[in-house]
């Protein structure tokens, strides 16, 4: 490496000193251990109170309260629970803060612990109340889950301020590597600090992404990793030939303090996720067909069905009044069916109250300038095709109420990317595959960000941001933000 490159590295400031970053990791694990210890103890004590002091009729009630036996048992079991958590990898950084996967591990670990208690009681001489065991299973699980959820939120807040971050090197500054870096760089709560790129083709100091420079060539990676205290190396697999990939794994594969991750090599599919499956003892990558799986998919479905059904039950009189008003305002059907692209690329008809005249296309064709504007943005501020009552429906977003039936029928979601037609799909370019991995939504980031006032390019960016960063909490936040956005009517036309 040239002296100029060396001086660049030395002068570049780090967000946290290398030793401090490792100290933060140790502190994080210690705090998490204490948190789990407290939550397990609270869960067992809560089970004792529910079983023996609440007097529920479905429990067999002894004539006297138990002695200190359960308290001593709780003190004995609490550290054993931590050992079980360790066996389930709940203190391994690759499993921490992984959302539903981490919570599933917690539940499975607590279930195994309770099975061990049942076996000890069955084969031992001691007697333990069955109700206490059953309640303990639920109370300990819920207590630990609540503690981990609160801990995760706290750490995410600190990560946004640059604390508790993992130092990462990205090998390969090609399109694949840049897509990975952009995703990680934008999500500050992910807890990743990108030290920079390692690339043989670019000069050190080159910044393809602001704040993420090229540090040097592959020959310098060991020095760069040590200098920046790197804990993870992400390889853009499309940027390196086979022999250099093998070289990296030989260099860092056995290192206990550095984790190597290999990208899927298809940056267009970064949002769907991949998993490794063995076929005939050969490890192969399989790409998920949809963005949401498992518990995420289940929770989103519960939210969609519960909210859509509740709104439909309460607002059906209003929808009936709107239907009558649409019919009286102009001739034509009450509902408009828009042919749009759904999950998996399957088309479906999205329902809306009709807001346009039946001869809408003829009205638009009379004004070439407006037609050109429509072809550019697929929206018109002063649209001659919209009826008088239709303007009111669009301004108040009441025209979208029938889409609740699409949500209930599982064709749409309450929150998601903007629904588009097959013709519009081409405007998403390399991201069109990602759009087909989730259901379109009645509301979303584009809704709370200004709706039609947002440029088409920004709509694409917002849709991709939602797909990449989905969580049930983001859905709830956007639903909450939709209320003031609709009341203000910004961008509604």
Three-class secondary structure assignment of the chain = CCHHHHHHHHHCCCCCCHHHHHHHHHHHHHHHHHHHHHHHHHHHHHHHHHHHCCCCCCCCCCCCCCCCHHHHHHHHHHHHHHHHHHHCCCCCCCCCCCCHHHHHHHHHHHHHHHHHHHHHHHHCCCCCCHHHHHHHHHHHHHHHHHHHHHHHHHHHHHHCCCCCCEEEEEECCCHHHHHHHHHHHHCHHHCEEEEEEECCCCCCCCEEECCEEEEECHHHHHHHHHHCCCCEEEECHHHCCHHHHHHHHHHHCCCCCCEEEECCCCHHHCCCCEEEEEECCEEEEEECCCCCCHHHHHHHHHHHHHHHHHHHHHHHHHHHHHHHHHHHHCCCCCEEEEEEECHHHCEEEEEEECCECCCHHHHHHCCHHHHHHHHHHCCCCCCCCECHHHHHHHHHCHHHCCHHHHHHCCCCEEECCCCCCCCHHHHHHHHHHHHCCCCCEEECHHHHCCHHHCCHHHHHHHHHHHHHCCCHHHHHHHHHHHHHHHHHCCCCC
Give phi and psi for 243, each to the nearest 5: -65, -35
Q: Where in the chain is the domain with CATH 3.40.50.720?
A: 165-265
- Helices 69-87 and 18-52: crossing angle, nearest 10°? 140
Q: Which helix (H) or strand (E) holds 118?
A: helix 100-123
Per-residue model confidence (pLDDT) at position 82 = 92
Per-residue model confidence (pLDDT) at position 6 = 45
Per-residue model confidence (pLDDT) at position 452 = 59
For domain 165-265, which CATH number applies: 3.30.450.20, 3.40.1190.10, 3.30.70.980, 3.40.50.720? 3.40.50.720
Per-residue model confidence (pLDDT) at position 268 = 57
Per-residue model confidence (pLDDT) at position 148 = 92
Per-residue model confidence (pLDDT) at position 462 = 81
**CA 355 vs CA 178, 330, 352: distances in Å:** 43, 9, 8
pLDDT in tens, the chain (493 residues): 444 444 344 334 444 445 556 677 788 889 999 999 999 999 999 988 888 777 665 665 554 546 678 888 888 889 999 999 999 988 887 777 777 778 888 999 999 998 888 887 777 666 777 788 888 999 999 999 999 999 888 888 887 777 778 889 999 888 888 888 887 877 777 778 898 999 988 888 888 888 889 998 898 898 888 888 888 899 888 888 888 888 888 888 776 778 888 876 665 555 666 677 777 767 776 766 677 777 778 889 999 999 999 999 999 999 999 999 999 988 889 999 999 988 877 889 999 999 888 876 776 666 666 666 666 656 666 667 788 898 898 888 899 999 999 999 999 999 988 888 888 777 776 667 777 788 999 988 887 776 656 677 777 778 877 887 777 878 888 888 887 777 666 555 5
C-beta separation of 140 from 74 below 8 A: no
Per-residue model confidence (pLDDT) at position 319 = 94
Per-residue model confidence (pLDDT) at position 492 = 55
């Amino acid at each position: 490496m040239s002296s100029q490159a060396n001086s660049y590295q030395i002068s570049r400031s780090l967000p946290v000193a290398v030793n401090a970053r490792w100290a933060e990791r140790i502190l994080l694990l210690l705090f998490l251990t204490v948190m789990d210890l407290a939550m397990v103890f609270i869960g067992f004590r809560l089970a004792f109170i529910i079983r023996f002091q609440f007097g529920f009729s479905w429990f067999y009630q002894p004539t006297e309260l138990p002695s200190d036996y359960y308290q001593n048992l709780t003190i004995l079991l609490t550290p054993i629970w931590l050992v079980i958590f360790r066996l389930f990898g709940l203190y391994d950084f690759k499993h921490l803060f992984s959302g539903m996967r981490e919570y599933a591990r917690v539940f499975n670990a607590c279930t195994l612990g309770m099975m061990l208690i049942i076996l000890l009681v069955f084969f031992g001489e001691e007697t333990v109340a069955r109700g206490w065991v059953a309640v303990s299973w639920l109370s300990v699980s819920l207590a630990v889950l609540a503690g981990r959820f609160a801990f995760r939120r706290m750490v995410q807040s600190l990560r946004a301020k640059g604390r508790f971050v993992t130092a990462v090197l990205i090998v390969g500054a090609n399109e694949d590597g840049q897509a990975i870096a952009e995703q990680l760089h934008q999500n500050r709560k992910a807890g990743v600090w990108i030290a920079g790129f390692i690339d043989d083709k670019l000069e050190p100091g080159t910044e393809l992404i602001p704040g993420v420079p090229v540090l040097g060539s592959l020959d310098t990676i060991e020095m760069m990793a040590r200098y920046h205290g790197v804990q993870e190396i992400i390889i853009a697999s499309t940027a390196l030939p086979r022999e250099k990939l093998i070289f990296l794994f030989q260099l860092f594969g056995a290192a206990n303090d550095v984790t190597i991750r290999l990208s899927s090599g298809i940056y267009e599919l970064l949002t769907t996720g991949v998993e490794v499956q063995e076929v005939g003892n050969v490890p192969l990558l399989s790409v998920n067909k949809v963005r949401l799986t498992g518990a995420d998919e289940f929770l989103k479905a519960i939210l969609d069905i519960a909210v859509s059904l509740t709104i439909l039950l309460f607002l059906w009189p209003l929808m009936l009044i709107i239907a009558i008003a649409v019919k009286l305002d102009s001739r034509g059907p009450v509902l408009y069916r828009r042919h749009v692209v759904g999950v998996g690329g399957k088309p479906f008809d999205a329902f809306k109250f009709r807001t346009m005249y039946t001869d809408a296309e003829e009205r638009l064709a009379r004004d070439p300038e407006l037609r050109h504007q429509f072809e550019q943005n697929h929206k018109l501020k002063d649209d001659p095709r919209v009826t008088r009552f239709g303007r009111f429906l669009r301004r108040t977003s009441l025209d979208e109420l029938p889409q609740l039936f699409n949500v209930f029928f599982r064709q749409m979601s309450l929150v998601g990317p903007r629904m588009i037609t097959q013709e519009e799909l081409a405007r998403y370019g390399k991201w069109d595959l990602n759009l087909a991995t989730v259901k379109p939504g009645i509301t979303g980031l584009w809704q709370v960000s200004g709706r039609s006032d947002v440029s088409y390019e920004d709509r694409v960016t917002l849709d991709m941001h939602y797909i990449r960063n989905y969580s049930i909490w983001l859905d709830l936040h956007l639903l909450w933000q939709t209320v003031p956005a609709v009341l203000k009517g910004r961008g509604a036309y």
